[in-house]
Amino acid sequence: MSGKSNRRQFFEKTLGVSAAAAVGGGLAFEDQALMAQLVKRSDSQAGAPPIVGLQKGDFRGLKVSRLIIGGNLISGSAHAGELLYQSALMTHYFNTAKILETWELAERNGINTTLMRCDPHIIEHYNKYRKERGGQLQWIAQSAPEQGDPVENAKLAADNGAVAIYFHGGRGDNYVEQGRIDDIGEIVAGIKKAGLLAGVAGHKLETIRASEEAGIDPDFYMYTVNKVGYLSSDPDEIGNYMKNVTKPWIGFKVLGAGRDRPTSGFKHAFEKGADFLCVGMFDWQVRDDVKLVKQLLDAGIERPRAWV
């Protein structure tokens, strides 16, 4: 009995000293964050009062929350560099129950739109969410390259409740590099004929610029913007160009796939002109992210680009 008591005292003392060191600034930021989880673990905040009043913007006639919940994590893609296990980790964490729980938490806190690829995994869960949970999340789809023709993929998205779809960003960048801008125009026209809002995505400013100069006329752009240089062009160049673009702009990879903090990355993306932020979120991040976006917008964002 005394042995167990001594061990308990040792761990309590150790955690206490470690926590004090973290507060005192003796640890690096990463270590402080880890220690905070050891000292005080938090849950998904599912029982916390919901955030009320998340702002919305006009998205070609639709009202879309300024914060959109992304689907990369659900699909097993976290852009975690050389971590070989990350895809398996994401797909094991986001089982069916966790996916539906996360979407419910998003809706409860004012997010009314999700952005996810159009593939069988997403379609199965999105339909389950709507039918079994009464979910009302609007779905903006990403064309899935492995599914073949993006226009046919758009028809599949339309048949399963999507309101919009955009041409995959990596493919968009490649098409522009190959001089295939007319092909992007044909894809956009085909998506519109399928009855969906049509978007063009890219990680490079050249993709957006080429679309504008060619008069392709998508309904919206899906374009990366962050200040850590992760799959994103120079921030000042982005801001200077996009301030003259009038189409709705969904900013993505605004945190550089976890390489920047929300308090910094969200503000930066809005300041550079993004109208909406697409952010991949774990359930335990949803409420805090909504709260932060609402606070930022309530306080006012200085930006040269008009809001849509």
Strands 56-59 and 62-65: antiparallel
Between CA 125 and CA 136 the distance in angstroms is: 13
In the chain, what are the domain boundaries?
2-39, 56-299
Q: How many C-beta atoms lie closer than 10 Å to residue 87's C-beta?
A: 14
Q: How far is CA 256 from CA 81, 87, 209, 228, in A?
A: 11, 17, 22, 6
pLDDT computed for residue 257 by the predictor: 76
pLDDT computed for residue 233 by the predictor: 86
Question: Using one digit for the tens of pLDDT, what is the confidence trace for 149-168?
Answer: 999 999 999 999 999 999 99
- Its pTM stands at 0.86
- Reported in sequence order, the residue ranges of the chain that DSSP labels E, i.e. its strands, are 56-59, 62-65, 67-70, 113-117, 138-142, 164-167, 197-202, 220-224, 249-252, 276-279
10-residue mean pLDDT series, the chain (308 residues)? 49 45 50 52 73 98 98 78 71 92 97 98 98 98 96 98 97 97 98 98 96 98 91 90 97 88 96 97 95 98 96
Q: How many C-beta atoms lie closer than 10 Å to residue 246's C-beta?
A: 10
pLDDT computed for residue 110 by the predictor: 98
Its CATH architecture, for the domain 56-299, is Alpha-Beta Barrel (3.20)
